[in-house]
Amino acid sequence: HIYLYFSFHSKNVQIICDANLVILSVNANYGGSTHDSFIWRNSLVHTHMEQNYLEGDRSSWLLGDSGYPQQPWLMTPFRNTLANTPQRRYDNRLSLARNTVERCIGLLKMRFRCLAQVRVLRYNPSKAGCIINACCVLHNMCISANIQMDQQPQHDPELPAEEIDVFPPRVSQDGITLRNHILNMYFQ
């Protein structure tokens, strides 16, 4: 866990949602200093996606930012792309699609203000993780019951991914090949 100078711990929460902002998976078990790729590698979703791929599924993909490894079942952006290139067009489309999870997180924080950046869950990290999980379940119940919010969700600005990773993602050659195939098919 990161213990910030404000005298509290932080959490790095992995959230996967669908196009309707329904949270499909939440992992609030790790402290704020834990790298995204470590959380991903140790998640049940990673194991499930990898197993499906090994069993022949080539049509199920998740979208991730540059903090995640490129894998055949996880599409991530290229690094250091130049303007007006197929790679930049791919990255722009990926970013637009990934905005869904940012909107989901913004809506979650708007519904449950205790999760907003300026709020603090004054509980031990394990209990805070349970509260985050409960908020995600309630969020899904609100969506299922079509409970609308009065305001537009506000999401925290995406932090730029560091070019030097503390835990470098394990990039899959099959994942790179698939991403290049998508690039050639749709962005040339």
16-45 residue pLDDT tens: 999 999 999 999 999 988 999 999 999 999
Q: What is the pLDDT of residue 5?
A: 46
Does residue 47 form part of some domain? Answer: yes
Does residue 171 form part of some domain? Answer: yes
Q: What is the pLDDT of residue 151?
A: 61
Does residue 157 form part of some domain? Answer: no
Does residue 155 form part of some domain? Answer: no
Q: What is the pLDDT of residue 149?
A: 80
* Strand ranges, E, within the chain: 2-4, 8-17, 23-31, 62-63, 74-75
Q: What is the pLDDT of residue 141?
A: 98
Which residues make beta-bridge pairs with 15? 26
φ and ψ at 101, to 5 degrees? -70, -35
Question: pTM of the predicted model, to two decimals?
Answer: 0.82
Q: What is the pLDDT of residue 170?
A: 61
Contact residues for 115 (Cβ-Cβ < 8 A; gap 6+): 108, 109, 121, 132, 135
Q: What is the pLDDT of residue 7?
A: 54
**Contact between residue 157 and residue 117 where contact means Cβ atoms under 8 Å apart:** no
Contact residues for 187 (Cβ-Cβ < 8 A; gap 6+): 86, 87, 89, 90, 93
Q: Which domain holds residue 23?
A: 2-148+164-186
Q: What is the pLDDT of residue 122?
A: 82
Does residue 99 form part of some domain? Answer: yes
Angle between helices 86-111 and 173-186 (to 10 degrees): 110
Q: What is the pLDDT of residue 2?
A: 42
Can you say how many angstroms the Cα of residue 94 is from the centroid of all Cα atoms in its chain? 12
Question: Which residues of the chain fall below pLDDT 70?
Answer: 1-8, 150-171
Q: What is the pLDDT of residue 4?
A: 46
Q: What is the pLDDT of residue 161?
A: 44
Does residue 131 form part of some domain? Answer: yes
Domains identified in the chain, total number: 1
Does residue 153 form part of some domain? Answer: no
Does residue 133 form part of some domain? Answer: yes
DSSP tally for the chain: helices H, then strands E: 5, 5
